[in-house]
Amino acid sequence: MFIHNFKYAFKTLFRNKMLIFWTFAFPIILGTFFNLAFSNIENSEKLDIINIAIIDNEDLKLDENKGIKEAFEQLSDEQNEDRLFYTQYVSEEKAKELLENDEISGYLIIEENKPKTVIKTNGINETILKYVTEQIMQTTKIVEDLATEKITKEIQSGNIKIDYQKIYQDVLDIASQDNVKIKNISNTNLSYTMIEFYTLIAMTCLYGGILGMTSINNSLANMGEVGKRTSVAPISKGKVIISSLLASYITQLIGLAILFAYTIFALKIDYGTNLPLIILLSLTGSLAGLSLGIAVATLVKSNENVKTGILIAVTMFGCFLSGMMGITMKYIVDKNIPIVNKLNPASMITDGFYSLYYYDTFDRYFFNIASLLIFSGILILISVRGLRRQKYDSI
């Protein structure tokens, strides 16, 4: 019975032209457009050293923000193979002039002990400057918090001879092991095209929701006529739903496999050595997409067309916030309303992809995998309440 239902669920999904368009054709069409649109920007895959300025005067107390200063010095060091910036220390007026003349991508100013980046336009260099600044801020905060914690513990334990040098070294060791360590990205193939392809994969993963929603609609009596007929058959609802969702998930994975094959072999996209991790993230992302579809199908009381519209709108909006129409959007959301992207599965997926490029360790990558699993688990748990219902008030 399970195989019988699985077989026909698979057939119905594969023959549904609307589903095939959204899950198979649309990402391929979009990928082709991305490739055409961004191929001109792909002349240089390696990032150049970025010209920036840091405002340095007595009022701004740059010396009191050692962490920031040292980090930028290190990233601007000529001897450093991973050099990211060419940094000039200038007055604010001079920095404005340099920015106006496009001699720098942006400048950094310390205000109330917080660094603020000033840019003229949105571009990859500007985005990297903002991103690195954010990461340095996070690292600095971690170091400060760790040091404060250690010193407080020492004081509480009655130690009056505190070895500040040792504490400082211990904290640095911890921070250097943490996921905040910025990886050299000057030699990676991170580019506009890659960023767009990551969001494209994220979108494809989430479009799996349409497949999940269709499966649910065909299984439940309150969702449609086929669901009514299935519900009066001598087969448990769980068996019907699980076999249908499995068929949806496999269909979704086939769609992703086709997308990967197309981008790798036809569009010559190089996913580098991280392909297995990208695939793992895609599998998890697809599960999140499927769960989103199940939740919309179960919780939204409306017809199938309205539900499909809601699902596509949510997915597209999620992808927009995660940077599909411009990476700056992801930065703006991360900075101003971080909770939105913490709950946005598209952002979890794209962030997982970025983390493979930005960090030496996989902590942040696995954090995103875990977030996606938790997201899927919560949605499935919420949906189960509706799915478990045996009888309805109205159908």
Partner 1 sequence: MKNIIEVKNLTKEYRNLKAIDDLSFEVHEGEILGLLGPNGSGKSTTINCILSLLKFSKGSIKILGKEMKPDSYDIKKDLGVIFQEVAVFEELTVYENIDYFCGLYIKDKTTRKKYIKEAIELVGLEEFKKFYPKQLSGGLLRRLNIACGIAHKPKIIFLDEPTVAVDPQSRNSILDGIKKLRDQGATIVYTTHYMEEVEILCDRIIILDKGKVLATGTSDKLKELAKIEEKVTIEINNLQPEQIEKIKQLENVDEVNYNVGNLIITYKKGKNNLGELIEHLKKENIKYNKIYSERPTLNDVFLELTGKELRD
State the minimum distance, in angstroms, from the CB of residue 303 to partner 1.
Answer: 13
State the minimum distance, in angstroms, from the CB of residue 215 to partner 1.
Answer: 12
Pick out residues in 198-227 that bind partner 1 (CB under 8 A).
Answer: 218, 221, 224-226
Stretch that binds partner 1, among 62-70, 234-242, 244-252, 293-301 (CB under 8 A): 234-242
State the minimum distance, in angstroms, from the CB of residue 306 to partner 1.
Answer: 18
Among 4, 66, 114, 141, binds partner 1 (CB under 8 A): 4
Asked if 305 interacts with partner 1 (CB under 8 A), we say: no
Stretch that binds partner 1, among 1-9, 139-147, 182-190, 337-345 (CB under 8 A): 1-9
For residue 111, report the phi and psi dihedrals to the nearest 5 degrees: -125, 125
d(CA 29, CA 153): 59
Asked if 236 interacts with partner 1 (CB under 8 A), we say: yes
Asked if 337 interacts with partner 1 (CB under 8 A), we say: no
State the minimum distance, in angstroms, from the CB of residue 82 to partner 1.
Answer: 54
Q: Which residues fall within 8 angstroms of residue 15, CB to CB, at 6 or more apart?
A: none
Nearer to partner 1, 12 or 361 (CB): 12
Both structure tokens of 323: 């940077």
**Cβ atoms 334, 324 nearer than 8 A:** no
State the minimum distance, in angstroms, from the CB of residue 313 to partner 1.
Answer: 24
Nearer to partner 1, 22 or 85 (CB): 22
Contacts with partner 1: how many residues (CB under 8 A)? Answer: 30
Please, what is the Cα angle at 237 between 236 and 241, to 5 degrees? 125
Pick out residues in 353-392 that bind partner 1 (CB under 8 A).
Answer: 390-392
Nearer to partner 1, 2 or 317 (CB): 2
Asked if 268 interacts with partner 1 (CB under 8 A), we say: no
Asked if 248 interacts with partner 1 (CB under 8 A), we say: no
Q: Is 279 helix (H, G, I), strand (E, B) or coil?
A: helix
296 burial via Cβ count (<10 Å: 0-12, 13-18, 19+): buried
Tell me the C-alpha to C-alpha distance, in Å, between residue 374 and each of 102, 134, 348, 368, 380. 45, 26, 11, 10, 10
For the chain, report the end-to-end CA distance as a whole number of angstroms.
Answer: 26
Stretch that binds partner 1, among 65-73, 229-237, 315-323, 378-386 (CB under 8 A): 229-237
For residue 372, report the phi and psi dihedrals to the nearest 5 degrees: -65, -40
d(CA 207, CA 288): 10
Asked if 25 interacts with partner 1 (CB under 8 A), we say: no
Stretch that binds partner 1, among 9-17, 30-38, 63-71, 247-255 (CB under 8 A): 9-17
State the minimum distance, in angstroms, from the CB of residue 230 to partner 1.
Answer: 7
**Cβ atoms 206, 287 nearer than 8 A:** no
Nearer to partner 1, 5 or 87 (CB): 5
State the minimum distance, in angstroms, from the CB of residue 138 to partner 1.
Answer: 50
DSSP designation for 273 = G
Among 43, 232, 265, 305, binds partner 1 (CB under 8 A): 232
Q: What is the largest CA-CA distance in the chain?
A: 81
Among 137, 151, 235, 242, binds partner 1 (CB under 8 A): 235
Written as one string, the DSSP assignment of 308-334 is HHHHHHHHHHHHHHTTTT-HHHHHHHH
Q: How many CB atoms lie within 10 A of CB 363?
A: 15
Q: How many CB atoms lie within 10 A of CB 223?
A: 22
Among 116, 141, 166, 229, binds partner 1 (CB under 8 A): 229
Stretch that binds partner 1, among 5-13, 21-29, 30-38, 379-387 (CB under 8 A): 5-13
Q: Which helix (H) or strand (E) holds 51?
A: strand 50-55
List contacts with partner 1 (CB under 8 A): 1, 4-5, 8, 11-16, 218, 221, 224-226, 228-236, 390-395
